[in-house]
Structure 1
Amino acid sequence: MSVYAVVFLTLVAVWCFAGRFFAIRSVVAKALSRWRHILLPLVLIAIGLLILIEGGAFGV
């Protein structure tokens, strides 16, 4: 069980460092600051729909 926790925390750290790496780039930072109010809801809705569809909530 501890191996899973270590792998999980390591990969979370990788995601955090990758996010920071891309966010401090001026081109990406400008695009994020301009479009974040549209991108974040779209991403969250897409993730929610994916979870519902993969979980069989619609009986499809």
Structure 2
Amino acid sequence: MWRVAGVTFANGSDNIGVYAPLLAVATAGAMFVYTAVFLVGVAVWCAAGKYFASHRLIAKALARWGHIVLPVALIAIGLAILFGG
């Protein structure tokens, strides 16, 4: 779980360009809230991933169809972002 949390944290580092202006003017209290919300969000994603990966039926379906479903889902999300506005 800690490895997944670390990778998630590292992958979020590209958002520094987005959040730097916000954090530059934020008070200490606001920065605490932003950090807490981020860490809670990471914990929720890690818990959901662990649950889905360890659930017998879901894990079996992911093992069988994951190599097809994941690329299709990522392409669909990308197209929705590009054309959905």
For the criterion TM > 0.5, the same-fold answer is yes
Tell me how far 1:23 sits from its aligned partner: 1.2
Structure 1 residue 32 corresponds to structure 2 residue 62: yes
Letter in structure 2 aligned against 1:36: G
Q: How many equivalent residue pairs?
A: 55
Q: Which segments of structure 1 move beyond 6 Å, counting only runs of 4 or more?
A: none
Q: Which residue of 1 aligns with 2:48?
A: 18
Which of residues 40, 53, 57 is equivalent to 2:83?
53
Structure 1 residue 4 corresponds to structure 2 residue 9: no
Letter in structure 1 aligned against 2:77: I
Tell me how far 1:5 sits from its aligned partner: 2.6
Q: Following the alignment from structure 1 to structure 2, what is the Cα–Cα distance between the partners of residues 53 and 16?
A: 30
Query: Residues 45 and 7 of structure 1: is their aligned pair in 2 closer, same or farther, counting only changes over 3 Å?
Result: same
Tell me how far 1:54 sits from its aligned partner: 3.3
CA-based RMSD? 1.4
**Which one has more relative contact order, counting CA pairs under 8 Å at least 6 apart?**
2
Question: Quick one: percent identity of the two aligned structures?
Answer: 60
Structure 1 unmatched runs, 5+: 56-60
